[in-house]
A and B are shown apart, each in its own frame.
Chain A
């Protein structure tokens, strides 16, 4: 049941699922955070609670794609403002909005910001879980543009040599061969390779392939530019 989320570079090339589907629960009501968290856990999801919209927004840049469950009425930054702010940051993960007061104008405002569903408290757990299931259907079917852009940026930031080595690895060439063809010493190639891997934030060659897939980079010609 737990398939890897589509945001991680590794999962886009069909590697083993390593992370549970994560649901961010943003509600100033502790009882809701706890009860929804328990419900999610029982259904195989990882629940990450936040007591306020600002707590969530502060961490957003470091969070992996997931489903949001957001309360409308929160002091300070409310649910609608949260969705709007997330959108301006390029985050469009599926959001399920919950409220104690279901009013059409509020629901419409949430829908216009792309919310997946709008549930009135006390909501049925079945309805909530159905929406969460649907959310991951969407997440896992659609490419995560933010992750793709991030991967592409990393590759673009490589030096010319590093990019050549990158392509060489994608083409399946060993260090020795790359050294021969680039007319460099074996040691120099190794050094560039290490730097390149560090810059891209990967530890194994297999991660490189995953990153390349995420960035939409194919082996192309070696050495290329």
Chain B
């Protein structure tokens, strides 16, 4: 039983603060749709950038990815990695982090560099996914 895993990063085109409500809309729709499609993962928003992990059935994830690419709220959509894994890394789909942290953004920004520094993508991607998992884990741990 293998799970299709995809990580992408992108540049936000939202103008803050007045378009901040869009993020809530993105999350509300994604939560509903992804649950329906059996897609798990996590979204990160750092005001300048987005990063998202999507896991599930390959066709479902790729169809989702197609819609995501056409979304006007971001551009420079860059698929960082995609693979088949033995198990899901995320128990559900959720918003892992939304805020202005420079630390979090430093995990995303370099992945948008064109062309990427040779050999840099994999370790950076691993760090980003590790960070996203930790956000999700702490969210679950502190949930009421």
Residues of A whose CB lies within 8 Å of any CB of B are 104-105, 107-109, 111-112, 114-119, 130-131, 134, 138
Cα of A119 to Cα of B100 in the assembled complex, Å: 15
Q: Which residues of B contact A119 (CB under 8 A)?
A: 103
Q: Are A104 and B138 in contact (CB under 8 A)?
A: no
Q: Which residues of A contact B131 (CB under 8 A)?
A: 104, 107-108
Q: Are B103 and A114 in contact (CB under 8 A)?
A: no
- Classify the interface of chain A: helix, strand, loop or mixed: helix
Counting from the closest, the 10 A-B pairs by CB-CB distance are: A118-B103, A117-B102, A108-B134, A111-B101, A104-B134, A117-B103, A108-B135, A108-B138, A105-B134, A131-B102
Q: Enumerate 12 A-B pairs (CB-CB under 8 Å) in ascending A order.
A: A104-B131, A105-B134, A105-B138, A107-B131, A111-B101, A115-B101, A116-B100, A116-B101, A117-B103, A119-B103, A131-B102, A138-B100
A112 partner, pick from B100, B102, B135, beta carbons under 8 A? B135
* Interface residue tally on B, bucketed by range: 10 to 19
Query: Is B97 located at the chain interface by the 8 A CB criterion?
Result: yes
Cα of A115 to Cα of B101 in the assembled complex, Å: 7
Q: Are A116 and B138 in contact (CB under 8 A)?
A: no
Cα of A114 to Cα of B102 in the assembled complex, Å: 11
Q: Which residues of A contact B135 (CB under 8 A)?
A: 108, 111-112
Q: Which residues of B contact A108 (CB under 8 A)?
A: 131, 134-135, 138
- Classify the interface of chain B: helix, strand, loop or mixed: helix
Cα of A72 to Cα of B135 in the assembled complex, Å: 18
| CB within 8 Å for A117 and B101 given contacts A104-B130, A104-B131 | yes
B83, chain A: closest CB distance, angstroms: 22
Query: Is B79 located at the chain interface by the 8 A CB criterion?
Result: no
A2, chain B: closest CB distance, angstroms: 22
Cα of A117 to Cα of B46 in the assembled complex, Å: 12
Of A105, A112, A116, the most chain B CB neighbours within 10 A belong to: A112
